Amino acid sequence: MTAPVATEPQAPGDAFVPRILVLSTNNISDPGIDLAGSSHMHYSPGVKVIGVPCTSGIRPSWILHALESGFDGVFVASDGDECAYLPDCAKRSSRIVGEAQARMRERGIDANRLRLAAICSVCAEPFTRHLGQFSTALAALGPAAAELTP
């Protein structure tokens, strides 16, 4: 007999629903995500959004903290070239994501648990598609908690 593996908090039979933190922008990507709601599109209730003014202001430590606290993936919905604050926003956001991924690897977390995409103010359909694909990919990876090196 092998010892039971106790990493799965959910009831047996329940499919694993990945928890995804979305970091979106107040002026552009958040309205796009709102539009998915107004258009009655669907995505997983495991998806939860925190809005910030600009994704160039995200600390990589927030992403790490989310993955260490129980989120299975983080999706950064950025303004891309549309950012009204910073002309080099896309570059800055990529740098932040790159730094977070490097730190994720150090912690044993799969770098694919972090995604970045430009989501515009009418990008409801691309957003739900991105999140659908991300949920599927994260479901295949399993819970992030299992990857964390102690």
Q: Are 104 and 113 in contact (CB under 8 A)?
A: yes
Q: Is 91 in the site for other proteins (CB under 8 A)?
A: no
Q: Is 50 in the site for other proteins (CB under 8 A)?
A: yes
Q: Are 119 and 127 in contact (CB under 8 A)?
A: yes
Closest CA to 115 of 149, 53, 71: 71
Q: How far is the CB of 65 from other proteins (least distance, A)?
A: 6
Q: Are 114 and 76 in contact (CB under 8 A)?
A: yes
Q: Is 19 in the site for other proteins (CB under 8 A)?
A: yes
Among 8, 16, 52, 129, binds other proteins (CB under 8 A): 52
Among 4, 38, 149, 150, binds other proteins (CB under 8 A): 38
Beta carbon nearer to other proteins, 3 or 121:
121
Backbone angles phi, psi at 123, to 5 degrees: -85, 45
Residue 108, classed as helix, strand or coil, is coil
* Residues lying near other proteins in the complex (CB under 8 A): 17, 19, 21, 26-27, 30-31, 33-38, 40-46, 48-54, 56-62, 65-66, 69-71, 81-82, 84-87, 89, 92, 96
